[in-house]
Chains A and B, each alone.
Chain A
Amino acid sequence: MTEFFLAAAGLIVATVAAGLAMILRGPTDIERLMSLQVLGTGGIAALLLIAFATQVPGVDDVALGLALLAPFAAIAFANMLRAEDLVSDDRDTAS
């Protein structure tokens, strides 16, 4: 069972790595943000599998921490894009 969990964790990490190709490919920042979200979800799943495979105490708490903190990057980024939109709106109405 340990081997199965570790193999599953490896496969998820490989899948996430493939998804990270989106950061290079773009075409816009929104796609890059999406691949960051894949990294968050996949990282949590891989950490949980590793926690159960190795039985090291505390690894599942790391997964819990990642689950708590992962959305903040996406929320902050969406806020930044919104602020840029508002600035460009102001320019449109001024000109």
Chain B
Amino acid sequence: MTTLANIVCIACISGGLFFFLAGTAGLLRFPDALSRLHALAKADNLGLGLVAIGLMFRANTLLVAMKLILIWLLVLVSGSLTAQLIAARVRRVRK
């Protein structure tokens, strides 16, 4: 059981690392501001979510697991909010 949990944990964190790499690659390589925003807003939050899920398998207490979920939810809310704000600025500059 512990081995299975460890395997799932490593798989989730590796997936998270992949999405962080993809997000940064998109930020550096995509041609314009809106597509860069698209790469970053989705890939990075998904990467953090996968890392949090992976770490949840290693959480000793319920409090720590809830804290991981809380951090992810906070980042999701703030990430979507700032993405909207930035996109509004990008649109404005284009006009």
A44 partner, pick from B9, B21, B37, B48, beta carbons under 8 A: B48
A15-57: CB near B (< 8 Å → 1, else 0) gives 1101101100000101101110110111011001100100000
Closest approach, in angstroms, between the C-beta of B26 and any C-beta of chain A?
Answer: 10
* Chain A: CB-nearest residue to B10: A4
A74 partner, pick from B14, B51, B71, B85, beta carbons under 8 A: B85
B55 partner, pick from A30, A52, A70, beta carbons under 8 A: A52
Instruction: Give bound CA distance, A70 to B70, whole Å.
Output: 15
Instruction: Give bound CA distance, A64 to B9, whole Å.
Output: 21
* Chain A: CB-nearest residue to B85: A78
Instruction: Give bound CA distance, A5 to B10, whole Å.
Output: 9
Decide if A64 touches B70 in the complex (CB within 8 Å).
yes
| B78 partner residues in chain A, CB cutoff 8 A | 67, 70-71, 74
Decide if A85 touches B92 in the complex (CB within 8 Å).
yes
Decide if B89 touches A30 in the complex (CB within 8 Å).
yes
Closest approach, in angstroms, between the C-beta of A82 and any C-beta of chain B?
Answer: 7
* Chain A: CB-nearest residue to B73: A67
Decide if A38 touches B74 in the complex (CB within 8 Å).
no
| B6 partner residues in chain A, CB cutoff 8 A | 1
Decide if B27 touches A34 in the complex (CB within 8 Å).
yes
Q: A4-B10, A35-B27, A52-B58 are in contact. Are A44 and B20 (CB under 8 A)?
A: no
> What are 6 A-B contacts defined by CB distance under 8 Å?
A1-B6, A16-B20, A48-B71, A68-B74, A71-B81, A75-B81
Q: Report B's interface with A, CB cutoff 8 A.
A: 6, 9-10, 13-14, 16-17, 20-21, 23-24, 27-28, 33, 36-37, 40, 44-45, 47-48, 51-52, 55, 58, 64, 67-68, 70-71, 74-75, 78-79, 81-82, 85-86, 88-90, 92-93
